[in-house]
Amino acid sequence: MIPEIGEFSLILAFCFSILLAIVPMYGTIVKNELWMHYGQSMARAQFFFVMVSFICLGYAFATDDFSVAYVANHSNSQLPAQYKLSAIWGGHEGSLLLWALILTGWTLAVSIFSKDLPLDMLARVLSVMGMVSIGFILFLLLTSSPFERYLPRFPADGADLNPLLQDFGLIVHPPMLYMGYVGFSVAFAFAIAALLSGRLDAAWARWARPWTNVAWAFLAMGITLGSWWAYYELGWGGWWFWDPVENASLMPWLVGTALVHSLAATEKRGVFKSWTLLLAIFAFSLSLLGTFLVRSGVLTSVHAFASDPERGLFILIFLAITIGGSLTLFAIKVPNVQSESRFSWLSRETLILINNVFLTVMAMTVLLGTLYPLLVDALGGGKISVGPPYFNAVFVPIMSLMAIGLGISVTVRWRDTPLDRIIKAIWKPALASILIGAVFPFIYGSGFDFSVFLGIAISLWILLTISLEFISKFKHADSIFTKLKQLTMSYYGMMLAHAGVAVVAIGITLVSVYSEERDIRMVAGDKATVAGYEFEFKGVQKVQGANYTADRGQIIVRDGKNVISTLNPEKRHYSVKNNMMTEADIDQGFFRDLFVAMGEPLDGDAWAIRIHYKPFVRWLWYGGTLMALGGLVTVADKRYRRKKTIPATNEASHA
Amino acid sequence: MKQLKAIFILSIISFFSTTAYAAIEVYQFDDAEKTARFKKLTAELRCPKCQNQNIADSNAEIARDLRAKLQLMLTANKSDDDIIQYMTERYGDFVLYEPRITGQTFLLWFGPFLLLAIALFIVFLIVRTRSKRIINIELNTKQQKQLDGLLNKKQGS
Amino acid sequence: MPRLLLFIPLVLFIVLGAFLWKGLSIDPRELPSALINKPFPEFQVSALRDANKVLTTADFIGHPLLINVWATWCPSCRQEHEQLLAIAKEASIPIIGLNYKDDRNAALAWLEQLGDPYKFNIYDEKGMLGLDLGVYGAPETYLLDAQGIIRYRHVGVITAEVWANFKVMLANGWKNETT
């Protein structure tokens, strides 16, 4: 009964999404305020019914209702309770329901927090979001219902959740990621609403900014969590593979980053209006494209969903309508008139434009590399692969150039900045970062290494320029505290996010160059030395887990004489699906991780043991978290809540 | 950025290939240079059977065989080119994660830089017009104020 | 700015969409053999039934034939065995088995139990011939012409449908066979 309520509730939600798409929009056409107002209650109803549906699926999981096919395929009576709940989004259908829940959740949030918006604008925004939900809920209902039953006979127990997903990572990573993907629908809806209304002043940018920043922050956090999860869970000790599914999340993030910046320019200076609109459309389009790539089976990925051409076709049609429609609208409605604002070569506008070029080109590079095998194949050129060597070769130079620009940008003002002032601000940090970058590989490593030089110099360059900029704020301040309070949240957010970029860059550089990795044959009592640490293998014992059995190794790590850690990597066997799993154990540290994983048992009681030394690997995720935090902090800016707006002067405009 | 060989579960997966656990084996070489080459080559050769894994990470039968063959070829002092040729003769260009530069992949390799050049040229054109245009800054601030006033009114309503 | 330039994003998206649509009908995991239109690799490997008998490519020349890569550890091979027996019964083309990374006794027992569709079997114990041939997983079936040139490879189970397709190729020659 409960699953049927879930399905029925989803159908009701679908009806409300249709009403939401039509009624308020129609209200704006016939100028009927009452109809426009309906948007808010429909957004509520839509969210409520998707929520009910979601709870019903959760109930089916919690009560082990294996007559529901989706539950039977993704759960098991032995599965620990927390994974039973996260298993809701452990497969295609349920994760799509989560997507719908988050989408209607964002719609609800817009209807609640945007009371200050002109009524017709809010009505249009909600309607556009309703149109997007129509697509997703219809997708669920037509091709991917999670409530389908195994009837008349259903299995006595479930097929179990993939062991790799039985982890904390599954609980937090997908919701975060989807918050980001779907969050871009808000900026998209604002852009479409602006195009429809023809009111293409800077106002829409101001309204869309906080929403975009939050979505961007969630996506950053989602990607960071995913990287961290893969690192500890998969046993390979790596953190990014340029797999199509990863790329699918990176593309909207890169374009989203461009959007965050160009929205700032549009809001503050009224420039790049059409471009910003286009970026808002792009960011969400790439989220949708990612959905297609992940769920249609056109590309091979280690972590693709079970592919189904029928689903692929549905999403493709949906893409054609949404993206094709909005790009057509864009081409027709964007006005030809350019804004009157003037800016010089040495202005923040110019640098934001360059930043946007780099980010967009990077996103296009990822898109090209991801789809190239498909393009070649479609043109009859056979099968080729595009993998990490390609992406690293093309991506890294472009990324480095951009990072150099980032350092300059913080010293540059809107409209115009005298050259001597820029030079005065940057020559010291430039010199210092080049010198320290050049010396660093000699001190930390064993000799000069160009990538270390480049990575360290660039990271320092960013850190130094933003620190000096920050300090310069206090030059004429009477009191540090007053000044600290005076600086806006947008400013702090920007500082945090930019510092995050530097921290990530340090992590990438050092872990890529100075990692050490050895696969060693060990019997109990054997010792091995990796990166100055001594690893003693004490042997293996059998342990019984909740729904698995495991061989658990014991490895004692010594730093000279002192024991610094005892690591217990496991080789698990999950009996339901007959799956083997490598559960690595990690001694975490601020400056380095020691990562140990167990391979196969070898002849003579020996085991293949993988030992990694990963310097600064955690900085990747620290940096990612800083970026996400930066994005969130900007939202606390009073400007977005105060009804009276602060006049935009040169000095007050930081972000 | 040499050893980016991870994987990360960005979206949720229902059907991982059954052999998604890490392949950990012991290969000994008499010198460090060969060990490094083994690591590099296994990371850059794609397992033909797997979903999207290199032969270093994959636990598929064929990946094991290819690793074993690679070890034999390295011990027999074969060059990287020989090894790559051996692999592509049998499994095609599909096994190369680093696609060769050919007419077919020209756009792939040079497209991004071409795009960057074009885009930067457009930026050049935009900034040139914007920095040339002489308008009354006074008026501009006034317009800005008008806009702000408009915003205030809208948000107040 | 000329108005038409604003349509560039839309045009690019339409092109992309066309490729994606085409992509739906392409299986990204189907890998054509790199040896199409090339001779079967040289080898000297013992026969399954007689460890002392050495087989070479010379045993292939003269007429078109199928080479079926199989093993007792491969569940799909059991699935296609019926079809192979049916093909053998038709007797239009000989099937040669390539017993891949298998145990000799297990393989012999399998043929005993399920029937033997093969003219003879190559016993590739270590899978080294398989490696030369670009085999990446059993079952695979190769179509060779009378000169011992590989003309087609099918990866996966041989079904009646696949066999019908093979027969069309055999009848029409080697024009459209490369996938």
Query: Which of residues C5 and A123 earns the better pLDDT score?
Result: A123
- Which of A49-53, A167-171, A647-651 is the least confident region? A647-651
Average pLDDT over residues B128-151: 63
DSSP of A131-166: HHHHHHHHHHHHH--TT-B--S---SS-----GGGS
From C28, C31, C32, residue closest to A298, measured CB to CB: C28
- pLDDT tops 90 at residue A50: yes
Residue C26 located in a structural domain: no
DSSP calls for A367-433: HHHHHHHHHHHHTT-------HHHHHHHHHHHHHHHHHHHHHHTTPPSS---HHHHHHHHHHHHHHH
φ and ψ at residue A532, rounded to 5 degrees = 85, -5
**pLDDT tens for residues A442-454?**
999 889 999 999 9
pLDDT band, residue A618 (cuts 50/70/90) = very high
CB contact under 8 A, A384 and B94: yes
Residue A456 has pLDDT above 50, yes or no: yes
- For residue C14, pLDDT beyond 90: yes
Q: In the predicted model, is pLDDT for residue A293 greater than 80?
A: yes
| Rounded mean pLDDT, A577-593 | 90
Q: Is A440 a residue whose pLDDT tops 60? A: yes
pLDDT for the residue A84:
92
Q: What pLDDT score was predicted for residue C128?
A: 86
- pLDDT above 80: residue B4: no
C-alpha–C-alpha distance, residues A106 and A128, integer Å: 12
Of all residues in chain C, the one with the smallest CA distance to A327 is C10
A453 — alpha (psi -120 to 50), left (phi > 0) or beta? alpha
Instruction: Please give the full DSSP string across A480-505, using - where no structure is assigned.
Output: HHHHHHHS-HHHHHHHHHHHHHHHHH
Distance in angstroms (rounded) separating the CA atoms of residues C80 and C95: 13
Is the pLDDT at B156 greater than 70? The verdict is no
Q: Which amino acid is at A70?
A: Y
d(CA A526, CA A609): 11
Closest-CA residue to C9 (of A271, B119, A195, A323): A323
Which residues, in sequence order, are bridge partners of residue A149? Answer: A68
Is residue C10 situated within a structural domain?
no
Q: Distance between CA A633 and CA A489 in Å, rounded?
A: 6
| CA distances, B153 to each of A16, A27, A40, B150, C87 (Å) | 32, 22, 22, 5, 83
- Interface chains of chain A (3 or more CB pairs under 8 Å): B, C
Nearest CB among A281, A298, A336 relative to C23 is that of A298
pLDDT over 90 (residue A191): yes
Quick one: pLDDT band at residue A650, thresholds 50, 70, 90? very low
C103 in any annotated domain: yes
Q: Would you say A357 and B125 are in contact if contact means Cβ atoms under 8 Å apart?
A: no
CA distance C174 to chain A (A): 17
pLDDT digits (tens, 9 = 90+) for B55-72: 988 888 888 889 988 999
User: CB distance A340–B140 less than 8 Å?
Assistant: yes
Please check whether residue B7 touches A, CB under 8 A: yes
Dmax over CA atoms of chain A, in Å, equals 83
Looking at chain A, the whole-number percentage of residues with pLDDT higher than 70 is 96
Contact criterion met (CB < 8 Å) for C7 and A296 = no
- Angstrom CA distances, A513 to A444, A586, A617, B30, stand at 11, 20, 11, 23
Question: Is A597's Cβ below 8 Å from some Cβ in B?
Answer: yes
Mean pLDDT, range B142-151, rounded to an integer: 64
Q: Is B92 near chain C, with CB under 8 Å?
A: yes
User: Residue A386 is encoded by which pair of tokens?
Assistant: 């595009």
Residues, chain A: 655
Least Cα distance to A353 among A265, A420, A412, A431 occurs for A265
Indicate the range of A322-336, A477-491, A558-572, A622-636 predicted with least confidence: A477-491
- What is the span of the domain harbouring residue C60? 33-172
Q: What is residue B150's predicted lDDT score, i.e. its pLDDT?
A: 66
Instruction: Look at residues A299, A370, A297, A387 and name the one whose alpha carbon lies nearest to residue B95.
Output: A387
Distance from CA of B59 to the nearest CA of C (A): 13
Taking only the tens place, the pLDDT of each residue in B85-98 is 999 999 999 999 99
C64-88 confidence digits (pLDDT tens): 899 999 999 888 898 899 999 999 9
The number of CA neighbours under 13 Å toward the Cβ of A631 is: 27
Q: Is C11 contained in some domain?
A: no
Q: Please identify among residues 115-154 of chain B the ones whose CB lies closer than 8 Å to any CB of chain A.
A: 115-116, 119-120, 122-123, 126-127, 130-131, 133-135, 137, 140, 143-145, 147-148, 150-152, 154
| Confidence (pTM) | 0.90
Whether residue C62 lies inside any domain: the answer is yes
- For residues A424, A426, A430, A436, the Cα torsion angle rounded to the nearest 10 degrees is 90
Q: Give CA–CA dist A299/B102, Å, rounded.
A: 22
The whole-number pLDDT of residue A491 equals: 92
Once rounded to an integer, what is the mean pLDDT over residues B15-24?
50
Q: What is the CA radius of gyration of chain C?
A: 21
Tokens of A342: 């003037």
Q: What one-character-per-residue DSSP string does A563-623 give?
A: EEEEE--EEEEETTTTEEEEE-EEE--SSEEEEEEEEEEETTTEEEEEEEEEETTHHHHHH
CA of residue A277 relative to chain centroid, distance: 21
Mean pLDDT of A311-333: 94
Interface size, chain A vs chain B, as Cβ–Cβ contacts under 8 Å? 302
What is the structure's pLDDT at A277?
A: 94
How many whole angstroms separate alpha carbon A192 and alpha carbon A16?
A: 21
Closest in C14, C20, C29 to A292, CB measured: C20
Residue A561 CB-density burial (10 A; 0-12 exposed, 13-18 middle, 19+ buried): exposed
Which segment, A363-372, C45-54, C116-125, is predicted with the most confidence on average? A363-372
Whether A649 shows a pLDDT value over 50: the answer reads no
| Cβ-based neighbour number of residue A504 at 10 Å | 22
Which of C6, C29, C36, C179 should be substituted to probe chain A, the one whose Cβ sees the most A Cβ atoms within 10 Å? Answer: C6
Q: Does residue C5 sit within a domain?
A: no
| pLDDT, tens digit (0-9, with 9 covering 90-100), for A544-564 | 988 899 999 999 999 988 999
Cβ-nearest to A201 among B21, B112, B147: B147
CB of B62 less than 8 A from some CB of C: yes
Cα(B6)–Cα(B57) distance, integer angstroms: 9
Closest Cβ opposite residue B1 in set A302, A508, A643: A508
In a domain, C6, yes or no: no
Cβ burial of B123 (10 Å; 0-12, 13-18, 19+) is middle
Report helix, strand or coil for C65. Answer: strand
Q: How many domains does chain C have?
A: 1
Give counts: helices (H), strands (E), chain A. Answer: 19, 10
Closest CA to A180 of A92, A119, A241, A248: A248
| Contact in structure between A547 and A80 (CB atoms under 8 Å) | yes
- Grade residue A576 by pLDDT with cuts at 50, 70 and 90: confident
- Is B132 exposed, middle or buried (CB count within 10 Å of its CB: 0-12, 13-18, 19+)? exposed
Q: Which of residues 68-87 of B touch C (CB under 8 A)?
A: 69
Is the pLDDT score of A534 beyond 90? yes
State the complex-level ipTM: 0.89
Q: Which two tokens stand for residue A387?
A: 């993998």
The alpha carbon of residue A380 and the mean position of all alpha carbons in its chain are separated, in whole angstroms, by 34
3-class DSSP state of C40: coil
Among residues A231, A33, A247, A21, the alpha carbon closest in space to that of A137 is found at A21
Interface partners of chain B (CB pairs < 8 Å, 3 or more) are A, C
Q: What is the mean pLDDT of chain B?
A: 77
Q: Do B39 and A382 count as a contact with CB atoms less than 8 A apart? A: no
The angle at the Cα of A179, spanning A175 to A182, to the nearest 5 degrees, equals 125
Question: Which of C19, C10, A392, A367 is closest to B107 using CA atoms?
Answer: A367
Summarised one tens digit per residue, pLDDT across range A395-414 is: 999 999 999 999 888 889 88
The answer on pLDDT for A264 being more than 80 is yes
Q: What is the mean pLDDT of chain A?
A: 91
- Against chain C, the chains showing at least 3 CB pairs within 8 Å are A, B
Residue-level pLDDT at A306: 64
DSSP A449: -
Whether C144 has a pLDDT exceeding 60, the answer reads: yes
Residue A418 has a pLDDT of 87
Residue from C131, C136, C140, C179 whose CB has the most chain B CBs within 10 Å, to mutate? C136
Name which of B48, B51, B90 is nearest C132 (Cβ-Cβ). Answer: B90
Task: Give residue A281's region: left, alpha or beta (phi > 0; psi -120 to 50).
Answer: alpha
CB contact under 8 A, A378 and C6: no
Q: Domain-by-domain residue ranges, chain B?
A: 32-95, 106-156
Residue A501 above 90 pLDDT?
yes
Tokens 């869970």 -> residue: A233
Q: What percent of chain A has pLDDT over 90?
A: 69
Over residues A370-389, the mean pLDDT reads 92
In CATH, what number is assigned to the domain containing residue C159?
Answer: 3.40.30.10
Domain covering B32-95, topology: Helicase, Ruva Protein; domain 3 (1.10.8)
Residues of A with CB under 8 A from a CB of C: 274, 278, 281-282, 285, 292, 296-300, 309, 312-313, 316, 319-320, 323-324, 327-328, 330-331, 334, 336, 371, 373-375, 377-378, 382-383
Strand ordering across the sheet containing A606-615: A516-522, A606-615, A592-602, A585-587
**Nearest beta carbon to residue B92 from set C34, C130, C135:** C34
Q: Residue C117 falls within a domain, yes or no?
A: yes
